[in-house]
């Protein structure tokens, strides 16, 4: 049974980082490497691709790693 607490600790760490990313990005202006720009509306945790974001006025979801510039 020692694996359960470790798994719970990993899950808690993932959620903590996800919420930190939400705080840092939601409502902020960003420019992506492909030139897409706008305000981050929502973040998604995608099993296959990791953290993705949606931008107001643009259909689709992009990997967070494609952020070139972000409002501070």
- The secondary element (H helix, E strand) that includes residue 15 is helix 3-25
Instruction: Compute the average pLDDT of residues 6-14.
Output: 90
Sorted by where each begins, the domain ranges of the chain are: 3-70
Nearest to 68 by CA among 28, 42, 36: 36
What tokens were used for 4?
């359960």
**What pTM, to 2 d.p., does this model score?**
0.82
CATH value of 3-70 in 2.40.50, 3.30.160, 3.30.420, 2.30.30 = 2.30.30
What tokens were used for 44?
């998604």
pLDDT band at residue 7, thresholds of 50, 70 and 90?
A: confident
C-alpha–C-alpha distance, residues 45 and 16, integer Å: 12
pLDDT (tens digit per residue) in 12-66: 999 999 999 999 999 999 999 999 999 999 999 988 878 999 999 999 999 999 9
């Amino acid at each position: 049974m020692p694996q359960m607490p470790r798994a719970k600790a990993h899950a808690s760490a993932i959620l903590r980082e996800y919420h930190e990313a939400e705080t840092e990005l939601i409502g902020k202006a960003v420019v992506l490497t492909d030139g897409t720009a706008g305000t981050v509306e929502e973040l998604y945790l995608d099993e296959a691709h990791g953290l993705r974001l949606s931008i107001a006025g643009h259909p689709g979801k992009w990997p967070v790693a494609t952020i070139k510039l972000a409002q501070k």
